[in-house]
Amino acid sequence: MMVKDNEILFIYNPTSIKDREALAYANSLKHYKVKEYDVTKQVPTKRQLAELSEKLGVGIHSLVNHKSETYIEKYQHADLDRDDLLKAIVKSPSIIKTPIAEFKNTAEFVDSTYEFIKKDMKNK
């Protein structure tokens, strides 16, 4: 997942209203070009996931939405190590905790659309 200066790779799940709203805010930014990454249509590799967790500054376990139906049904009671989690995410990308904004050198979970507006205003 290559991200250039003034680009955002926006990783989202279109089945989530919160994710779609955050994507709309991201697309309204004037100083960033948004590249969309729909987890229901695109499957990340284990390497991409490892790089993403590194940019986020979290472990692989934190990439997982532990409240997703798929996670609860298939993985909640499984004893998964790092590699098992990577395989689970590749097999079921809808369990990724979204939305995530990936920038050139960093990434962050999007908990607030206000954060996008703040970043855009700083780039004036």
Three-class HEC string of 34-67: EEEEECCCCCCCHHHHHHHHHHHCCCHHHHECCC
Q: What percent of the chain has pLDDT over 90?
A: 75
CATH of domain 7-122: 3.40.30.10
Q: Is 100 left (phi over 0), alpha (psi -120 to 50) or beta?
A: beta
Task: State whether the Cα torsion 86-88-92-97 is positive or negative.
Answer: negative
Sorted by where each begins, the domain ranges of the chain are: 7-122
User: Tens of pLDDT along 68-109?
Assistant: 999 999 999 999 999 999 999 999 999 999 999 998 888 999
Between CA 97 and CA 105, with CA 101 as vertex, the angle to 5 degrees is: 120
Which pLDDT tens digit goes with each residue over 22-41? 999 999 888 889 999 999 99
* Letter string b/e over residues 105-124, b meaning 16 or more CB atoms within 10 A of that residue's CB: eebebbeebeebeebbeeee
How many CB atoms are located within 10 Å of the residue 24 CB?
10
Q: How far apart are CA 105 and CA 57, in angstroms?
A: 11
Tell me which amino acid residue 73 is.
Answer: E
Residues in a beta bridge with 107: 102
